[in-house]
Amino acid sequence: MNYQYNSSVPDRCNSPTLHDRPDQGTIQWMRQRGDMRIAFLEDDQAQAEMIKSWLSSAEHSCRHFTKASLFLKEIRRESYDLLILDWELPESSGIEVLRRVREQSDWRVPVLFITNRDSEDDVVKALAEGADDYMTKPASRNITLARINALARRSQLETVGEQTLEFGDYKFLTTKKTLTQCGKPIELTEKEYQLAVMLFCNIGRLLSRNHMLEAIWGVGPELATRTVDTHISRLRRKLALLPEHGWRLKAVYQHGYRLERVDDLNSD
């Protein structure tokens, strides 16, 4: 199945459609180095250690926070694939944190509640405020991981059978790991190709340097951030990601990078 949209940016290749959804092979590649990057807010240390061990066994990368203030500070400067929240917290509530997340962060990032509160009203309130799923304690390992995998599929908009990703002039052949622009091949290294896929699959979303380091290089911030900056510079040049071509690869100071459509900016 193809999902289409219209863009006001002139398509110099006259491509009839643009496909927003990554194919299954792309999603598998995006997760092969540690699966999802998760931020976890839970003040009960024993509960946190147990759930962290489950996530680690499933090759998820998890950062745990016991205080809402530190959690909110983190997500303002870092990007994550999933947020897990407890409801009852010492200095705030999970619902208040959720509201601030949805006000300040990207609505595409899924949020999972894992909490002791089990009334129907609580579930409805959390979902109405923007949670994507809700689980009550005591949590089961298998069900927790199954719910996380389901959220991952939904957030990445997984489809079966698609072999290409098309964004205007750019066409990714994911099975062959090649990229063309107006039908002309662009020579990229493996890391450049992987980084290009990650950026195009997150158009309009701010991606932190650490997020890109973990996803592409499989390492944390101990690797110099110039590694990311150097590869971004090469992609900007090789792919001609310039406003006159309908794109902007924007650096956000002390955060990371965001690939933007110029027509989206002009429509604000």
> Omega into 243 within 30° of 0, i.e. cis?
no
The answer to whether residue 26 sits within a structural domain is no
Q: Count the domains in the chain.
A: 2
Q: Is the pLDDT of residue 16 over 60?
A: no
* CA angle centred on 250, ends 71 and 60, rounded to 5°: 40
pLDDT band at 72 (very low <50, low <70, confident <90, very high): very high
113 strand-pairing partners: 85, 134
The confidence score (pLDDT) of residue 264 equals 53
Same domain, 225 and 258: yes
- The verdict on 47 and 135 lying in the same domain is yes
196 and 147 in one domain?
no
The pair of structure tokens assigned to 255 is: 């955060």
Domain annotation covers residue 172: yes
Domain CATH for 215: 1.10.10.10
252 and 199 co-located in one domain: yes
Q: Does residue 21 register a pLDDT over 70? A: no
CATH number, residue 112:
3.40.50.2300
In this structure, is residue 16 part of a structural domain? no
pLDDT at residue 35 above 90?
A: no
Q: Amino acid identity, residue 227?
A: T
Residue 136 belongs to a domain? yes
Instruction: Give the Cβ contact number of residue 268 at 10 Å.
Output: 4
Question: Residue 222: what pLDDT?
Answer: 61
Same domain, 64 and 141: yes
What's residue 140's pLDDT?
Answer: 92
**171 and 243 housed in the same domain:** yes
Token pair listed for 84 = 């897990």
Nearest alpha carbon to residue 41 among 73, 1, 9: 73
**Does one domain contain both 69 and 123?**
yes
- For residues 120 and 208, membership in a common domain is answered with no
Please check whether residue 31 lies inside any domain of the structure: no
Among residues 109, 131, 155, the one where a domain terminates is: 155
Q: Do 62 and 56 touch, CB atoms closer than 8 A? A: yes
**DSSP calls for 91-118:** SSBHHHHHHHHHHHS-TTS-EEEEES--
- 90-102 pLDDT per residue, tens: 889 999 999 999 8
pLDDT(176) > 90:
no
Residue 14 pLDDT: 37
Domain range for 230 is 163-266
Domain match, 124 and 41 both = yes
For residue range 119-144, list pLDDT tens digits in order.
Answer: 999 999 998 888 989 999 998 999 99
Express each pLDDT in 77-91 by its tens digit: 888 989 999 999 988
